[in-house]
Structure 1
């Protein structure tokens, strides 16, 4: 069961917090006020070592912060008990802070709502972990380890209209004829969808990390 389907978590979120769910990937590199605010909060929380220290650029996690800036609490754990403890920690710190002066909220950043062109196709991509190394996740609670093993990742592959048309056999095709899909479609699949997204949103492969991608 999701942490955020727990009745006590739901009740406290409604009564004591303003819940916000975001895709943190575009905020990592944006230059608008919302992106800069999020990066400041995430950098202060330091849930992941920076890439220069062998860590990940991911900023996934649960953050509790005040609108004018101070980080109250953060973690990257699952389970209702962990989320409730995070709420308690955040509220305790908020009560110790001085009352801030009234101020206008910062302007909202640009809306990031990419849309698929008419005539394109969106495919649901499901991911499962089929093989586990002996002893994998042995350091985690049994329920959390089971949840990781049984979880299914979901993403969406967009195929643009011209790419979709190129997947169809050419008019002159005869039995045994071979043709290639657009190179950019093959590379998009390799970079963004041949990844382990079962336990969260992973980092995509960089363009120079895909040496060859071909669909025939």
Structure 2
């Protein structure tokens, strides 16, 4: 959500992307590894830029033509730098007819699909306080940004929820991969032995749960209560709205500059309807390890 608050909050950039470009959002951790036509097309573009495939991350904003010819790159969120890259790409662009990319056989490992008969739940996180007064606009953006992810629920877990039961596997997955502070970047997930307390049940459609998560060195932790409603009809869950609220402390390698000490973190869960393109994005905790995530 940081880019939405910075780069893509600039009206000039938004207008340029809407009228002169075809914007595409991907997870480069997948595309730079994919062994299919989609992956090869992205890798062709990335290898013309400063970050080569096979040498770590290729993260950034790229511009290319329909033939995969590299036109520009930046990994800076500053509006002026992004505008400079986009305008430079337009100057270099030379329209030409190119053949469509054949879809071909997809690399299944990097094209995971939600479990058949299961559910997709939107997850949104926000820090509710604890930050010091921001010293710059960039710091303000980091402090007010939201985290976004998806939770996948298996078919058997879906059936259990519809009966008013709370599967331990689902509660564990929710805690390990989604009770995280992902508001400033990619967070570390919780290990099984870092779950110190995890209890919950559904009574008359109301879900209540308590959780305590803590690393061995006690540098990172989250103690929270989860409360929400689950409704079903004809064996199908029709409503799932939950909120986890509690005290978090610590940070990860890619989530630096958290508030000092303990701070309030809230995480909301709501049933996805498939109308948002983001509903199709695999959970971050499943990246490259879907069987481990969904077990």
Per the TM superposition, whether the score is higher than 0.5 is: yes
Does structure 1 residue 181 correspond to structure 2 residue 175? no
1:162-213 CA distance string (max 9 Å, x none) = 235567888xxxxxxxx9712x7625752x435543235x3776xxx93536
Does structure 1 residue 31 correspond to structure 2 residue 35? yes
- Aligned CA RMSD, in angstroms, stands at 4.0
Do 1:45 and 1:71's aligned partners in 2 also have CA atoms closer than 8 Å? yes
| 1:15 alignment counterpart | 19
Unaligned runs of 5+ in 2: 200-295
Q: Distance in 2 between matches of 1:187 and 1:145?
A: 32
Deviation at 1:79, TM superposition (A): 4.0
Q: Give runs of aligned pairs for residues 89-168 of structure 1, distance below 5 A.
A: 89-92=88-91, 94=92, 102-108=97-103, 110=106, 112=111, 114-118=113-117, 120-129=118-127, 142-164=136-158
Do 1:4 and 1:10's aligned partners in 2 also have CA atoms closer than 8 Å? yes
Are residues 103 and 50 of structure 1, via their aligned partners in 2, closer, same or farther at CA, if it must alter by over 3 Å? closer
Matched position secondary structure for 1:41: helix
Do 2:66 and 2:98's aligned partners in 1 also have CA atoms closer than 8 Å? no
Deviation at 1:116, TM superposition (A): 4.6
Unaligned runs of 5+ in 1: 52-56, 171-178
Please give the TM-score of this superposition, normalised by the length of structure 1: 0.63
Deviation at 1:150, TM superposition (A): 1.0
Do 2:29 and 2:57's aligned partners in 1 also have CA atoms closer than 8 Å? yes
Are residues 43 and 210 of structure 1, via their aligned partners in 2, closer, same or farther at CA, if it must alter by over 3 Å? farther
Matched position secondary structure for 1:128: strand
Which structure shows the higher strand fraction?
2
Are residues 152 and 14 of structure 1, via their aligned partners in 2, closer, same or farther at CA, if it must alter by over 3 Å? closer
Are residues 145 and 203 of structure 1, via their aligned partners in 2, closer, same or farther at CA, if it must alter by over 3 Å? closer
